[in-house]
Structure 1
Amino acid sequence: MSTIKQFVFVLLGLIYFNSLQAEIKTVKHSKKNNTIKKWEVVDIAFKADVKNQNPFVIDFVAQFTDPNGKVQIVPGFYNGAGNWVVRFSASVAGVWTYETRSEIKTLNGKKGKLVVSNETSNEHKGGIVLNPEKPRNFFYENGESYFLTAFECDWLYALDYHNQEALPKTDHLLNLLHENGFNQVVMNVFSYDVSWKKDDELKEHPEHEYGAPKDIFPFLGNNENPDYSSLNVEFFKKLDRTIALMHDKNIVSHLMIYVWNKLVAWPEMNSDADNMYYDYVVKRYGAFPNVMWDVSKEALYYGRADDAYILERIKRLRENNSFNRLVTVHDYGFCKRHAESVDFISRQDWTYSLYTNMLDDYNKYSDKPVFNIEHGGYEESPYEVFTGSYVNAETCLKRNYQCVFAGVYSTYYWQAASWNVVVYNPYEQEEGFIKPKFEYFKYMTSLFSKFDFSKFKPTPWHNQAGYCLKSDDTYLFYVPKDTYKFRGEFLFKENESISLQWMNTLSGEYSELLNVNKKQDFESPWYNKADAVLIIKPTNKNK
Structure 2
Amino acid sequence: MRISILSFCFAILITPFSFCQTQVLKGSKLNKPVEIVQWEVIDLVYTAKDNIIAPFQVEAYAVVTDENGTQNIPLFYNGNNQWVFRYSSTTIGQKTFEIKSEVKGLHGNKGNFKITENKKENRHGGIVLHDDNPQRFFYEDGSHYFNLAFECDWLFALDYGKQDLAKTKHLLSVLSDNNFNQVVMNVYSHDVSWPKDERLKKHPEHEYGGRQDIFPFLGSNANPDFSSLNIEFFKHFDRVISEMHDQEIVSHLMIYVWNKLVNWPDMESKADNLYYDYVIKRYQGFPNIVWDVSKEALYYGRATEEYISERISRARKLDAYNRLISVHDYGFCKKHPSEVDFISMQNWAHDIYTPMTQARNNFPNKPIFNIEHGGYEESPYVVFPGAYVDAEACLRRNYMCLFAGGYTTYYWQGASWNVVIHNPYETPNDFKKPHFEYFEHMSKLMNIVNFENCMPMPHYNRSGYNLTNKKDGIILMYAPKENNWVSANPAVEGEFNYSEATMQWFNTLTGALTKEEKYNKNDFRFWDQRPWRHEADAILIVKNLKQKKERN
Residue 62 of structure 1 deviates from its aligned partner by 0.6
Pairwise CA RMSD: 2.1
Counterpart contact for 1:329–1:335, Cα < 8 Å: yes
Counterpart contact for 1:20–1:171, Cα < 8 Å: no
Aligned to 1:524: 530
1:84 equivalenced with 2:87 (yes/no):
no
Residue 537 of structure 1 deviates from its aligned partner by 1.8
The within-5 A match list for 1:103-502 is: 103-121=102-120, 123-164=122-163, 166-472=164-470, 473-490=473-490, 491-492=492-493, 494-496=497-499, 498-502=501-505
**Cα gap change, 1:24/1:455 in structure 2, threshold over 3 Å: closer, same or farther?**
farther
CA-to-aligned-CA distance 1:267-326 (integer Å, 9 cap, x gap): 111011100000000000001000000000000111110001111111110111111100
Q: What amino acid sits opposite 1:356 in the alignment? A: T
Aligned to 1:503: 506
- TM-score w.r.t. the length of structure 1 is 0.93
1:106 aligns to what SS in structure 2?
Answer: coil
Residue 118 of structure 1 deviates from its aligned partner by 1.2
**Cα gap change, 1:228/1:446 in structure 2, threshold over 3 Å: closer, same or farther?**
same
Residue 516 of structure 1 deviates from its aligned partner by 2.9
Aligned to 2:30: 30
Which segment drifts farther, 309-318 or 480-489? 480-489
Which segment drifts farther, 244-253 or 104-113? 104-113
**Cα gap change, 1:498/1:121 in structure 2, threshold over 3 Å: closer, same or farther?**
closer
Identity across the alignment (%): 52
Aligned to 2:541: 535
Q: What amino acid sits opposite 1:253 in the alignment? A: S
Q: What amino acid sits opposite 2:455 in the alignment? A: K
Counterpart contact for 2:500–2:518, Cα < 8 Å: yes
Which segment drifts farther, 254-263 or 111-120? 111-120
**Cα gap change, 1:24/1:447 in structure 2, threshold over 3 Å: closer, same or farther?**
farther
1:75 equivalenced with 2:74 (yes/no):
yes
Q: What amino acid sits opposite 1:40 in the alignment? A: E
**Cα gap change, 1:303/1:49 in structure 2, threshold over 3 Å: closer, same or farther?**
farther
1:526 aligns to what SS in structure 2?
Answer: coil
Q: What amino acid sits opposite 2:502 in the alignment? A: S
Aligned to 2:9: none
Q: What amino acid sits opposite 2:183 in the alignment? A: V
Counterpart contact for 2:325–2:341, Cα < 8 Å: yes
For residues 63 and 45 of structure 2, what CA distance do their matches in structure 1 show?
Answer: 15
Counterpart contact for 1:346–1:372, Cα < 8 Å: yes
For residues 303 and 52 of structure 1, what CA distance do their matches in structure 2 show?
Answer: 38
**Cα gap change, 1:122/1:102 in structure 2, threshold over 3 Å: closer, same or farther?**
farther
1:515 equivalenced with 2:521 (yes/no):
no
For residues 61 and 32 of structure 1, what CA distance do their matches in structure 2 show?
Answer: 21
For residues 443 and 230 of structure 2, what CA distance do their matches in structure 1 show?
Answer: 39
For residues 125 and 548 of structure 2, what CA distance do their matches in structure 1 show?
Answer: 43
Counterpart contact for 1:20–1:167, Cα < 8 Å: no
Aligned to 1:15: none
- TM-score w.r.t. the length of structure 2 is 0.92
The within-5 A match list for 1:51-66 is: 51=51, 53-66=53-66
Aligned to 1:5: none
CA-to-aligned-CA distance 1:178-212 (integer Å, 9 cap, x gap): 01110000000000000111111101100000001
CA-to-aligned-CA distance 1:340-366 (integer Å, 9 cap, x gap): 000000010001121000000111111
For residues 21 and 355 of structure 2, what CA distance do their matches in structure 1 show?
Answer: 43
**Cα gap change, 1:62/1:514 in structure 2, threshold over 3 Å: closer, same or farther?**
same
Counterpart contact for 1:24–1:42, Cα < 8 Å: no
Counterpart contact for 1:21–1:245, Cα < 8 Å: no
Residue 57 of structure 1 deviates from its aligned partner by 1.5
Counterpart contact for 2:154–2:189, Cα < 8 Å: yes
Counterpart contact for 1:96–1:113, Cα < 8 Å: yes
Aligned residues: 524
**Cα gap change, 1:50/1:197 in structure 2, threshold over 3 Å: closer, same or farther?**
farther
Q: What amino acid sits opposite 1:183 in the alignment? A: N
Q: What amino acid sits opposite 2:100 in the alignment? A: R
Q: What amino acid sits opposite 1:317 in the alignment? A: A
Counterpart contact for 2:134–2:364, Cα < 8 Å: yes
Q: Higher relative contact order at CA 8 Å, sep ≥6: structure 1 or structure 2?
A: 1
For residues 304 and 234 of structure 1, what CA distance do their matches in structure 2 show?
Answer: 28
For residues 21 and 436 of structure 1, what CA distance do their matches in structure 2 show?
Answer: 33
For residues 430 and 21 of structure 2, what CA distance do their matches in structure 1 show?
Answer: 38
1:486 aligns to what SS in structure 2?
Answer: coil
CA-to-aligned-CA distance 1:463-494 (integer Å, 9 cap, x gap): 12111111120001111111111234433464
Residue 514 of structure 1 deviates from its aligned partner by 1.1
Residue 53 of structure 1 deviates from its aligned partner by 2.1
Q: Which runs of 5+ in 2 are unaligned?
A: 1-15
For residues 36 and 274 of structure 2, what CA distance do their matches in structure 1 show?
Answer: 30
Which segment drifts farther, 519-528 or 346-355? 519-528
Which segment drifts farther, 488-497 or 116-125? 488-497
Q: What amino acid sits opposite 1:403 in the alignment? A: C
Q: What amino acid sits opposite 1:293 in the alignment? A: W
